[in-house]
Amino acid sequence: MNQLDIVTIALIAANALASFKGFNDNGFFERYKFSIGGIKAGQKDRMISSGFLHVDLSHLFFNMFTLYFFAPVIIGWFGSVQFLIIYFISLFTGSLLALYFHKDEPLYSAVGASGAVTGVLYAAILLQPNMQLGIMFIPIPLPAYVLGIGYLLYSIYGMKSRLGNIGHTAHFGGAIGGYMTTLVFKPALLVTDTLMVLLLALPIIILFVLTKMGKIH
Q: Which domains does the chain have, with CATH numbers?
A: 6-212 (1.20.1540.10)
Mean pLDDT computed over 65-93: 95
Could you tell me if 175 and 91 are in contact, meaning their C-beta atoms sit under 8 angstroms apart? no
Mean pLDDT computed over 70-93: 96
Phi/psi for 67 (5° steps) reads: -60, -45
pLDDT at 2: 46
Q: Could you write out the DSSP letters of every residue in 131-169?
A: -EEEETTEEEEEEHHHHHHHHHHHHHHHHHHT-TT--HH
Which amino acid does the sequence have at 191?
A: V
Spatial CB neighbours of 107, under 8 Å, sequence gap ≥ 6: 36, 37
Q: What is the pLDDT of residues 103-112, one digit of tens each?
A: 888 888 999 9
Mean pLDDT computed over 39-59: 94
Per DSSP, 216 falls in state -
pLDDT at 167 over 80: no
pLDDT at 1: 42
Cα–Cα dist 17/103, whole Å: 29
pLDDT band for position 90 (50/70/90)? very high
This prediction's pTM: 0.90
